[in-house]
Amino acid sequence: MQKFQADTPGVTKSEIDTPALLIDIEAMEDNLERMADFFRGSEVRLRPHFKTHKTPIIAHKQIAAGAKGITCQKLGEAEVLVGAGIADILIASQIVGSQKISRLAGLAHHAHLVVAVDQADNVRELSQAVSAAGSSLRVVVEVDVGFERCGVLPGEAAVSLAELVSQSPGLEFAGLMGYEGHAVFVTDRQSREQAVGEALARLVRTAELVRQAGLAVDIVSAGATGTYDMVGRFPGVNEIQAGSYVLMDTRYREVGVGFRCALTVLATVISLPAPGRAVIDAGKKTVSADFGLPTVISPDGLRLVRLSEEHGILEVDRQAEALRVGDRVELIPSHVCTTVNQNDRFYALRRGHLEAVWPIAARGKSQ
Amino acid sequence: MQKFQADTPGVTKSEIDTPALLIDIEAMEDNLERMADFFRGSEVRLRPHFKTHKTPIIAHKQIAAGAKGITCQKLGEAEVLVGAGIADILIASQIVGSQKISRLAGLAHHAHLVVAVDQADNVRELSQAVSAAGSSLRVVVEVDVGFERCGVLPGEAAVSLAELVSQSPGLEFAGLMGYEGHAVFVTDRQSREQAVGEALARLVRTAELVRQAGLAVDIVSAGATGTYDMVGRFPGVNEIQAGSYVLMDTRYREVGVGFRCALTVLATVISLPAPGRAVIDAGKKTVSADFGLPTVISPDGLRLVRLSEEHGILEVDRQAEALRVGDRVELIPSHVCTTVNQNDRFYALRRGHLEAVWPIAARGKSQ
């Protein structure tokens, strides 16, 4: 019997109980540095997306590496960030309904919040709420640059909404955001660059129209890990919302994004029931499959072929014939964000030794 | 501005903040009753699977409705159950590794645990651990009845492992389990019944061989929500592991299972950016899509067509032209188990009024 605690710093990777999300700290630091290099000397600033890791200490590291602030999607995520001492936050989604708007107006007393809008009634409700609360909010107008999710159409619709924001008590018009989600995973880099260019032209042209209407446009925000370098060089955009770069996954690796895969899932072989088949203790409830099955990186000779809720079923080739029940298997997720959101903590390792356990504090903060 | 707390009992469905998992208590009670009816007067007993709801109060209701005990998949789930006063637990999976085996041996002092095995070394480790801890364990041998996940082959391999268990200090051989996972979702009921029959014949024949070897076989466990009635009538099986029946989902409804869909997801329209398109605040991180997209049940005229991480994108037909930002949308998940595992609480309603908020205490207990 082992006598150590599995979460005591210093234990080796193989001593951590499973399933577990591991972060290779050096790979993560390389990613932070690589991204910082890109923005060094540029007027464009990174505002990384919290949805990927939902973990305040990683957000603090991103800011220490030069990020302007943090982007998040949910009000509950913003509350976790503010509680962790991070004040400069873009909520890149519409906050709707009187309960959430009240929470937002209260939170605005404790942070520098920017929130996205795409609808006039929502602007009026935000204005009323901050007026009642005695707080204030900065607001960006979300423009649909071709992803066909949220956002007003580029052009006059966006200008009108920007004007309404600027005239609303308690609100400050801060600029525009767009998300070129339809371009992010275009495999061919040249095609991706073209799709990004078309999307951003809509955003930047709209920013010009807003300026022509007499409003200052402080923020023009877009971008993701698959497009940050294209967006970051596009004249007129000045904030990037990339998230996945810090931990990465196979989906982004497949489209040629050069960051290191710092996140892995550690699992244990719990059954070798038949020749050529192994079963591990990590299933869909640990590692997501919405972007495809995760990829085994060690040991050699294993291939994941199926995920049940709590089991992963692997094909074992001759190379892995020595595999035993109890052996560890390490995988890279296909989608970091949906994997992280199912787990309570990261096990952060440096050179194979546990350095820290980080609670995923905003996990499940969907409200 | 609303003045109520969104989680105060008595508020109406439309006042609950979103996204939220709702339970229709009466539908759930009907499901408990319908399942209890099936087992009334039978020697076969239900031991419902905790993986579906991960919520102790629902497990207690299942026991109050006649269930013999609870099935779970993970040791961490068993720990939550024991902490909630539920002592009769089948862990329907292999517990591997010295850390987990130590936890299991300790937990066995506080509950009546049955654990699945499919491998001789694991049996030896379990025996050593309970001997060291001064506790004891009941053990079922898992037989692969055709699902090709875990389990020894039917027949002699299972008999040998059963004999090893029976000879191991601190362990009591309790019986066999098999999971006919390959049959559970066979759409055509007759084909499903045939697949179930073939699978269970392997299990029951193996139980006979074990008895012929001189061992008592107390438990012969199998079954799921899609097969409980077939398995429950199959001579020689005496425990059923169905889980989803209590809350249900569209995947089981599609194969003709008659329980009521008691679980829904409540969401809010956060954007109506273009004619024919609405966006809600529930995405993949709230409601799973591993068994297909969830189904909108209200209002009429909406169809979910895409899920991002935190957004659901809907097609809006003429019937729903009056839809407004802030309106509530209610959906039935395609897969209850993976949906529940992403959320922290259930909002339990009776006739449209909130009755209780139930923490999903074993959410994410993957270790």
Structure-token match 């220490």, residue found: A64
HSE, CB side, 13 Å, CA atoms: give it for residue B231: 32
Q: Indicate the pLDDT class of residue A5, thresholds 50, 70 and 90.
A: low
**Mean pLDDT, to the nearest integer, of A44-60?**
98
| Closest Cα in chain A, distance from residue B311 (Å) | 8
Put simply, the chain B residues between 309 and 348 with a CB less than 8 A from any chain A CB are: 309-311, 313, 325-326, 337-338, 341-344
Mutate to test the interface with A, among B270, B305, B315 (most CBs of A within 10 A): B270
For residue A2, pLDDT over 80 is answered with: no
Q: Which of A51, A153, A268 sits opposite B97 (nearest CB)?
A: A268
Query: Among the listed ranges A64-73, A315-324, B221-230, B232-241, which one has the minimum average pLDDT value?
Result: A315-324
**Looking at beta carbons, which residues of chain A come within 8 Å of B78?**
none
Sheet holding A70-72, edge to edge: A45-46, A239-240, A219-222, A171-178, A137-143, A112-117, A88-91, A70-72
Structure-token match 């998230």, residue found: A243
For residue B2, pLDDT over 60 is answered with: no
Say yes or no: A43 contacts chain B, CB-CB below 8 A. no
For chain A, give percent helix, strand, coil, nearest 5. Answer: 30, 25, 40
Say yes or no: A268 contacts chain B, CB-CB below 8 A. yes
Q: Indicate the pLDDT class of residue B9, thresholds 50, 70 and 90.
A: confident
**Looking at beta carbons, which residues of chain A come within 8 Å of B102?**
1-2
DSSP assignment of B93-113, as one string?
S---SHHHHHHHHHHTTSSEE
The percent of residues in chain B predicted with pLDDT above 70, rounded, is: 99
In this prediction, residue B320 carries a pLDDT of 85
**Mean pLDDT, to the nearest integer, of B242-256?**
97
With CB atoms and an 8 Å threshold, state whether B1 touches A74: no
Say yes or no: A120 contacts chain B, CB-CB below 8 A. no
The structure tokens listed for B112 are 């009546």
- Alpha carbon separation from A365 to A84, A240, B225, B285, B290 (Å, rounded): 15, 23, 30, 9, 21
With CB atoms and an 8 Å threshold, state whether A343 touches B326: no
First to last CA, chain A: 43
Overall size of chain A counted in residues: 367
For residue A3, pLDDT over 70 is answered with: no
**Mean pLDDT, to the nearest integer, of A146-152?**
97
Q: Which of A94, A290, A309 sits opposite B270 (nearest CB)?
A: A94
Q: Between chain A and chain B, how many beta carbons pairs sit less than 8 Å apart?
A: 184
For residue B1, pLDDT over 50 is answered with: no
Q: Indicate the pLDDT class of residue B5, thresholds 50, 70 and 90.
A: low
Mutate to test the interface with A, among B8, B99, B291, B354 (most CBs of A within 10 A): B99
For residue A6, pLDDT over 90 is answered with: no
Say yes or no: B87 contacts chain A, CB-CB below 8 A. no
The structure tokens listed for A104 are 């937002």
Q: Indicate the pLDDT class of residue A4, thresholds 50, 70 and 90.
A: low
In this prediction, residue A94 carries a pLDDT of 98
Say yes or no: B1 contacts chain A, CB-CB below 8 A. yes
In this prediction, residue A1 carries a pLDDT of 41
For residue A120, pLDDT over 80 is answered with: yes
With CB atoms and an 8 Å threshold, state whether B18 touches A325: no
With CB atoms and an 8 Å threshold, state whether B308 touches A181: yes
For residue B3, pLDDT over 70 is answered with: no
Q: Which of A17, A129, A285 sits opposite B100 (nearest CB)?
A: A17
pLDDT in tens, A225-275: 999 999 999 999 999 999 999 999 999 999 999 999 999 999 999 999 999
Say yes or no: B100 contacts chain A, CB-CB below 8 A. yes
The mean of the pLDDT values for chain B is 96
Q: Which of A205, A216, A227 is nearest to A145 (CA)?
A: A205
Residue of B nearest to A73 (CA): B310
**Mean pLDDT, to the nearest integer, of A146-156?**
97
The mean of the pLDDT values for chain A is 96
The percent of residues in chain B predicted with pLDDT above 90, rounded, is: 95
